[in-house]
Each structure stands twice: as C-alpha cells, then as structure tokens.
Homo-oligomer: A and B are copies of this chain.
C-alpha cells in the first residue's frame, strides 16, 4: 500500500527534498537553506516542516510513506548516526533520534552523499541494474558508493566505501584524515589544485599562470583542464599524475570489489572526455591479472537532483 519514499539531500547551503512514488516519479519541494550555523536541531526541524508541507501539498499522510532517506555530506554509521559532517559542523549526531520526534512511526535511513548518488545512478542512471558497482565521486574530496548484490554496501560501522581514504602512495602533503597517501590527496579537485600550486613557481611559461593572473590561489580544476585542452605542459603533468593515481585506485578497487562497472561522478568528472582514454590505458597496463575481465568505466548521468532521489531510494536498497 504505502509505496511513497521521501528523500532528503542535505548540502552545505541548501536542503533538497523529494517525494518519489512507486513509478519512480519524483516531486520536489522548494529547497530550504541548511543554515547549519543555527545547529543541527534547527536544520532537522526545518526538514520535518518541509516534509510535512510536501505531504500536505500531495494530499498524503505520513502513514503512506514507506521511509525517509537522508543523504549527508559526511561520514555516517549507515544506520542512524552522523560521525562527522565538517561542512555543516555536525559531529556525533543521532539523526534517527531527532527524526523520530517528528515522525515516530516512519523508518529513517541515512547514508553519505556518494552512496545516495550511487543509488540514484543504479535506479535510474548509468549503472542501472548492475549487480556489483562502484561509484567514485571526484569532487572537493573523493567519495565512494558501493553496490553489492544490488544493495548498498556500508559495512559494519557504515564506513565501507570510504575509498577516498585508500592509501595508494606517498604524497607531498597529508590528508585531512591524518594519513599520508590517501587517494583523495591525488584525485580530488583539491588535490590537483594543490599539485598545480606546487608546480606554479617553476612553470613560468604555463598557460595556467596567465589564466590566473599569476595568482596560485585562483587556480581551479576547470582552469587546469582548460589548459590541458590547449596542450599546456604543466597541465599535462598535473593530469598525468591524477590519471596515474586514479588508475592505481581503480586497480585496488578491482582487487577488492571486482565490480561489473565503475561510475565516475563529481565535479572533476566533467573532464571525463579529456582523461578517459589515458585512464583506460593506465588501468589496463596496471591490471594485476590480465586474463580476468575487468569492470568497465562509465560516467555519471544524473545531475543535481540525484541526491534527493537517491536518498529516497535508501528505503529500497538497505
């Protein structure tokens, strides 16, 4: 009977909420500001209000809702607790407990934003129907979402698929997590910007210098890939290193998850067409077992709305 799912995508600045029906049709509420500076209870109160308004507008009662799924910009235990969501200053917060005060009889699921993005892509997008799949989000950080046997896999404490923190080498700066050599420190937008800033002074002829008026703090991932398109040597060095470590990350993920398909999302994946050929080549060169077929690599298909829809899908995938 009750086949409606609600998905909430909490971002650094806005919260997006969607009602998804059993035919996968999504109706979005008007976004609300996250206003994390007012504390997590305030934000959750506002989310509850938004959910109630969405139900009212669609003439539904809460009892017709199968579950509410929440995507978090941070680390969760995959059940009820947020360990850490730095962008919104949430630390050790029991979301289910808070939601319970508003919706005592409704099941609430939480997962990080890369996981819910993977669910949306699995339900509607580029990895639809894959039995085992790994999503890699290349954004400010590197995130992961892992589908095993067509379910979201979050492990024992919820931190399975934290693939940005795979240690894959020895790097010139430490990761926020305290370790050295995390995939995130090679393959995130932050990582390639840091690499560019490091090369800055020694590359006076680079187009990147012109494009930033000689100000390293103005470097963006987009500028690096724009220079790469114009065959800029410094950009080539940066993209080469990014591709090398992404290929090592993918090799590691083949040797642990061996998925049917990898899907690349996040801001840096906008440059997919520029690096995919080189990436395919480096992955093939590094395969530990050349005669075992490997998962293909595809690009994420869904845009900004995927977060809320994926979060709604938590009720189906957990």
Contact = CB atoms under 8 A, between A and B. Distances in A.
Interface of A: 75, 77, 83-84, 92, 131-132, 144, 146, 148-149, 153-163, 165-170, 175, 177-179, 181-182, 248, 251-260, 286, 288-289, 291-295
B154 A258 contact: yes
A163 B286 CA distance: 15
The 8 closest A-B pairs by CB, nearest first: A155-B258, A160-B258, A177-B288, A165-B288, A162-B255, A157-B292, A156-B260, A165-B255
* Identical subunits present: 2
B167 A170 contact: no
Given A256-B166, A256-B257, A159 B84 contact: no
B155 A75 contact: no
Given A149-B149, A179-B288, 4 more contacts: A83-B291, A159-B292, A162-B255, A163-B256
Given A148-B148, A167-B168, A289-B84, A160 B256 contact: yes
Contact of A252 (B156, B166, B291): B166
Contacts of A168: 167-168
- The CB with the most chain B CB atoms within 10 A, among A77, A148, A289, is that of A289
A175 B251 CA distance: 14
Contacts of A292: 75, 77, 83, 157-159
